[in-house]
Amino acid sequence: MSDFYKINTFIFDVDGVLTDGSVLSYANGEHARRFYVKDGFAIEKAIQAGYNVIVISGGFEKGVYNRLTFLGVKDIFMGVKDKLEVFNSFKEEKTIDPSCILYMGDDIPDYKMLKLVGMPTCPNDAAYDIKEICKYVSPFDGGRGAVRDVIEKVMKAQGKWQKELW
């Protein structure tokens, strides 16, 4: 857990990380996701504090995109077939050291990404194979505080989580 102090970039998956992994399917073909407000608060604070916050997801729903932009996330990659390609391009473009990246994923499509970052993390309800390779497993489930947990840990380790200022 001592690696939290050097993180400057957060990368999150959507389904099972920013959401609880449930998908509501409506007759009109729309699929809805449920986000956790406390995760959103932490994302906003991380962005305000100058951290890079990136979302990479295989899915694409306009509602998810709208929620992320509402929170201030600018680097949103949705409908991604190859997360590694997006990751490598972004890392090169922004010259970010992989050892300074925290990635949170919850299932097998995140496996390779988790192996490339300095702080691989996952929610408590992540797949066993993912938990096995993570340096930190949040005690919170995806879409229920796992994102807030890791953002708080990083910001507290760096003295940037100052609740008395909010």
Least confident of 25-34, 99-108, 118-127, 152-161: 25-34
* Domain limits, the chain: 2-161
Helices vs. strands in the chain: H and E counts, helices first: 6, 8
Average pLDDT of 1-9?
85
In which band, very low, low, confident or very high, does the pLDDT at 41 lie, cut at 50, 70 and 90?
Answer: very high
**Sequence-ordered list of residues with C-beta below 8 angstroms from that of 135, at least 6 positions apart, any chain:** 1, 3, 119, 120, 121
The pTM of the full predicted model, rounded to 2 decimals, is: 0.92
How do residues 58-115 score in pLDDT, each as one tens digit? 888 888 898 999 999 999 999 888 888 998 998 888 888 999 999 999 999 999 999 9
CB 124, CB 146: distance < 8 Å: yes
How confident is the model over 102-140, as pLDDT tens digits? 999 999 999 999 999 999 999 999 999 999 999 999 999
Q: Tell me the residue ranges of DSSP E strands in 57-162.
A: 75-77, 101-104, 119-122, 136-137
CATH superfamily, domain at 2-161: HAD superfamily/HAD-like (3.40.50.1000)
- Looking at residue 8, its amino acid is N
pLDDT over 90 for what percent of the chain? 64
Residue 51's pLDDT is: 96
The set of long-range contacts for 87-92, using a CB threshold of 8 Å and a minimum separation of 24, is 87/11, 87/56, 87/113, 87/116, 90/54
